[in-house]
Structure 1
Amino acid sequence: MILQSLVHLYDELSRQGKVAKEGWGIAKVSHRLVINTSGQLIGIISARRKVLRGKKEKEIPTEMIVPLPVIRAVGIKANFLCDSSSYMLGVDDKGKPERTRKCFEASKELHHHILDHCTSMEAKAILAFFDSWDVTKALDNHFVKDNLDDILAGSNFLLQIDGTDATEVPEIREAWEKYYNGTGSGEADSAVGPCLVTGKENQPIAVLHPKIKGVMGAQSSGANLVSFNAAAFCSYGHDGEQGKNAPVSEEAALAYGTALNYLLADDRHRKIFGDTTVVYWSEHAADVYQDCFMDMLGDDSGIGDKELDDILASIKNGVPADLNGVTIDPEEPFYILGLAPSAARISVRFFFRNTFGNVISALEAHQERMRLVHASWEKDRIPLWQILKATANPHSKDSASSPLLAGSLMVSIFNNSRYPEAVYQNILRRIYSDRDEAADAGKKAIQKVSYVKAAFIKACLLKNYQKDWEGKIQMAVNEKCNDVSYVLGRLFSVLENIQQAANPNINTTIKDRYFNSACATPASVFPVLLKLANAHLGKLDQPKAVFFKKKLGALMDKIVMPDTGTPLPHRLTLDEQGAFVLGYYQETQERFAGKKEEK
């Protein structure tokens, strides 16, 4: 299903001209080998481009469309027109001169095989270069000597004839396409069989599948999504057959690899959540769908809030939306693929296929559950990465969340199912462990009970504990909610406010000393806090003292006194602890909102 979807995407991208057509691929080119019409090397020039990496400018190879590179493991296989220095010049630093000579000879043989029948000046110049170049004297060439460090460190070298790249010569392009269409990848001994992806019979089977680049944590040179290089991965009786174990045609392997690499190279199609790299696309490869999806994830794709609200309203009603003249169909199939590194391979964390309308509706339902009163500078829609970041220790070096949380959280959101209890528990654990810290020396401020933490707790209570909390918790303070855990959270906020009013410059508040125990075992803490509050009230002027006493009285009236024992619970359950945190957060935000109104 995954490979079929990517092959279909390749067909769409190819039709739209967004990826190279069959027989052509992308390669990183560091230099051009410039030859004249006689086939003599007359220069080696850089093809690298300058980019900013942080504050420094760095040169990196340029990605160019070239004849489709072969997949190399350990054997000698040459590429056409663009290859490494071993194949193009017979020069490298691998310490195996005989193998390097064979690499150059293989490249020479391939170019003769493809260009021998060509009559253009450029084709003859290329063949003359390979015929006249002496590998044994390559290091004596002054162009090679002058650029030896760059040559040894370079990636790929592209042939250029008197200022024209060989890949731009019509006759050479036609010769390559004729060769490619006649031999597939050029493998004479390729197995032939049915393709499990396309269903076509008698297709050359890809023994090695294309490298996938751009998955965070995977090998920078690329990793395999499909590979069979050990008996444990193969079906019974198919040991050592590699790709023949699950036959995928060379055509389909090229298609899915090109499409997936295209998605991973574009930040509009790719997002990182924990250790999971997520790519997403629409059936017809229309950019407007992933832009809208990005905004729903909480990132900015350039769509305004009003336009996004209009789109959501249309999708909720099941009718197409319009964005700058482009139609957004809620019935458009939409795909989401989560990939994670696994040694030399890529593992699939999750894969979803649904209509765009259903995907957006699930995301909007999640954001609606997360909706919570907050400061004006904070976003209404909370990005998923912020939820995951809230589960991690802010003082750790990487401050990354657990690798397993990202996948399970996204699965729950897209399926509109229960949130992972592990995410909820990790956020509670961070609340107990963190302390309020002001921003200092380039470090961001840390909040014990932050907007993101409280918002996810609210969402989890509404989804996972719906029976107990639906109707009791809202976006802001619910004055009608008499649940004791929620009321105690609000009461703690008021007690903190009383202390700060009585001691404006206090360094350590009751929040620093008592919050955790008040949240978990309120019966053991609140009597102490109420006694402290009476002492603090005695320090305030009469109007403030009266205000706080009324506030305390109103909240205390909500706590039902039993016939025997204490009205305060000895221990709160996990969902009640979340309600305590939420009550504290909302009451605190209500206080800040009141201060703004006074100003």
Structure 2
Amino acid sequence: MILQSLVHLYDELSRQGKVAREGWGIAKVSHRLVLDEEGGLIGIVSARKKVLRGKKEKEIPSDMMVPLPVIRASGVKANFLCDNSSYLLGVDNKGKPERTKECFEAARALHHQILDGCHSAEARAILSYFDHWDAAGARDNPLVQTNLEDILGGSNFLFHVGNKDVSDIPEIRDAWERYYRSGGGEEGTIKGQCLITGKKDMPIATLHPKIKGVLGAQSSGANLVSFNAPAFCSYGYDGEQGQNAPVSEEAANAYGAALNFLLADRTHAKVMGDTTVVYWSEHGEEAYQDGFLGMMGDEGGLTDEELDDVLAHMKEGRSSDIGGISVSPDEPFYILGLAPNAARISVRFFLRNTFGAFMKNMEAHEGRMKIVRPSWEKGRIPLWRILKATANPHSKDSASSPLLAGSLLKAIFLDGRYPEALYQNMLRRIFLDRDEPAGGGRPAVYKVSYVKAAMVKAYLLKNCGTKWEGKIQMAVNEDCNDISYVLGRLFSVLENIQLSANPGINSTIKDRYFNSACATPASVFPVLLKLANAHLGKLDQPREIYFKKKLGALTDKIAMPDTGTPLPHRLTLDEQGAFVLGYYQETQARYAGKKEEK
């Protein structure tokens, strides 16, 4: 299903001119080999382009459309028109002259096989070059000597005849495409039915294309489909590589081109933890990706106003307009999560649904996350911030758990239950972190931050909805009498009393007692209430009266039993979350009140 969806995307992108058509691909070209009409080498010209790297200008190879390069694992295999110096010049620094000679001869044979029937001057010039070029003495050629350092350090070379790149000559392009469609003309090419397209008698890909752009995978590219041990192979296909899952070369190149296109666009391929998430609509329209990106809370997508308009239309089942493009809620939409695995890529998840369904699921998550926030927090909470909040802010590797990223994203995209590990990690960070001001290039750390509190609220509403629905709201719920929530609010008031009595204090009761008050309130709150009485005595009469009324209103919500303490000895995990929310919302109400007074 994954490969089939990517092949369909390739067809759409190809029709739109966004990717190379069948049989063509992008290669990095560093030089052009300039030939005259008789096939003589008359120049080696740089094809590099200048780019800025920081403050410095640097020359790098140009990305050019050329006949689809072959996939080399080992052995000698030539490319058409564009290749490295071993194949096109017979020159390299590998110290294996016999192999270098074999490479040049392979290139010569391939070009004769494809161009022998062509009559254009450019095709005859290329064949004449291969027939007359002295590969054995190539190093002594004046042009090679002059450019030897560039040649040995270059990437690929492309033939250039008559002021034209030969890949632009119609007759040569047609000859290549006939050759490519015939299966490459290689002896021993295995043909069969393609698992992806269903076409019969198709050349089967032995090696699949490299996928580049997955965070943590090899920079040269990694395989999404590959087999290198009998344990991974079907019966009777041990050691046969691509035959184990027969995919035609046409389909393999198509899915590779489509996936590399998505990964190359960093706006529409986001990294969450160790998971690289790519997403696309069935018809390859970027407007859908922009809308999805906006819902993930990342810059580069739509504004909040535009998103609100799109969501309003989606709820009614109507199409919306994004950048002049009509966006339908019924458009099939795909989300693929990829993670590195040595020289291969593992699939964290693959989800398919309509665009409208995904948007509604993410909006439901946003609704659960809504909570009163500090003045400096704006817009939606990006998904990466939720994951980051579960990691140690002082760790060199501040990435979240790899498995946690995949399970959280699936829960949000499918509107499922949040992973228990996410909630437990969030509580652990609340217990372990301390308030720290920003400094030394490091952002401020908050014990109970906006993101942590929002995720705790979302978890309680989704996973424990029968207990907390109606009790947990966006801001302080004065009518909620659940003791764990009330105790959280009470702790915030006690902290406020201490701060009012001791302005500029370095350490508050939050630093010493928050964790134990949240987990075992019966053992801590009597001590805190006793401290509060001492602090109240230091305040002026109006503030003392205000805080006594506040304390009285909260303690009145705590039911008095006939025997024993009214405070619970222990709070369950979901009650600890309610305690955190009570503390956070009461604290935010305090700051909001001060702002209104000013």
TM-score (norm 2): 0.97
In 1, are the aligned partners of 2:418 and 2:459 still within 8 Å (CA)? yes
3-state SS in 1 of match to 2:100: helix
Number of the residue aligned with 1:160 = 160
Deviates more, 1:114-123 or 1:441-450: 114-123
Q: Which amino acid aligns with 2:83?
A: D
Give the Å deviation of 1:357. 0.8
Pair 1:241–1:484, CA change in 2 (3 A): same
3-state SS in 2 of match to 1:492: helix
Pair 1:516–1:58, CA change in 2 (3 A): farther
1:379-424 CA distances to partner (integer Å, 9 max, x unpaired)?
3311111111111111111211111111111111122111001111
Number of the residue aligned with 1:192 = 191
Number of the residue aligned with 1:469 = 468
Structure 1's unaligned 5+ residue stretches are none
**1:146-295 correspondence to structure 2 within 5 Å:** 146-181=146-181, 183-295=182-294
3-state SS in 2 of match to 1:76: coil
In 2, are the aligned partners of 1:522 and 1:569 still within 8 Å (CA)? yes
3-state SS in 2 of match to 1:455: helix
Cα distance in 2 for partners of 1:444, 1:147 equals: 51
1:323 to 2:322 alignment = yes
3-state SS in 1 of match to 2:348: strand
Number of the residue aligned with 2:509 = 510
Cα distance in 1 for partners of 2:148, 2:539 equals: 80
Number of the residue aligned with 1:81 = 81
Aligned residues: 598
1:179-217 CA distances to partner (integer Å, 9 max, x unpaired)?
222x22443321111111111222111111111111111
Cα distance in 2 for partners of 1:553, 1:280 equals: 54
Pair 1:515–1:108, CA change in 2 (3 A): same
Q: Which amino acid aligns with 1:13?
A: L
Pair 1:167–1:375, CA change in 2 (3 A): same
Measured on the aligned residues, the alpha-carbon RMSD in Å equals 1.7
**1:63-462 correspondence to structure 2 within 5 Å:** 63-181=63-181, 183-462=182-461
TM-score (norm 1): 0.96
Give the Å deviation of 1:351. 0.6
Number of the residue aligned with 2:541 = 542
Q: Which amino acid aligns with 2:61?
A: P
**Identity rate, percent:** 74
1:519 to 2:501 alignment = no
Cα distance in 2 for partners of 1:221, 1:196 equals: 27
1:146-203 CA distances to partner (integer Å, 9 max, x unpaired)?
443433332222222254222122222122122222x224433211111111112221
3-state SS in 1 of match to 2:345: strand
In 1, are the aligned partners of 2:294 and 2:303 still within 8 Å (CA)? no
Cα distance in 2 for partners of 1:551, 1:152 equals: 79
Pair 1:56–1:542, CA change in 2 (3 A): farther
Number of the residue aligned with 1:559 = 558
Cα distance in 1 for partners of 2:535, 2:64 equals: 72
Cα distance in 2 for partners of 1:585, 1:168 equals: 65
In 1, are the aligned partners of 2:37 and 2:121 still within 8 Å (CA)? yes
Number of the residue aligned with 2:18 = 18
Pair 1:57–1:386, CA change in 2 (3 A): farther
Cα distance in 1 for partners of 2:573, 2:51 equals: 49
Deviates more, 1:369-378 or 1:270-279: 369-378
Pair 1:451–1:142, CA change in 2 (3 A): farther
Give the Å deviation of 1:55. 5.4
In 1, are the aligned partners of 2:293 and 2:301 still within 8 Å (CA)? no
Pair 1:101–1:469, CA change in 2 (3 A): same
Number of the residue aligned with 1:4 = 4
Give the Å deviation of 1:324. 3.8
Cα distance in 1 for partners of 2:185, 2:278 equals: 31
Structure 2's unaligned 5+ residue stretches are none
Cα distance in 2 for partners of 1:542, 1:427 equals: 40
3-state SS in 2 of match to 1:30: strand
1:45 to 2:68 alignment = no
Pair 1:517–1:56, CA change in 2 (3 A): farther
In 1, are the aligned partners of 2:183 and 2:189 still within 8 Å (CA)? no
3-state SS in 2 of match to 1:135: coil
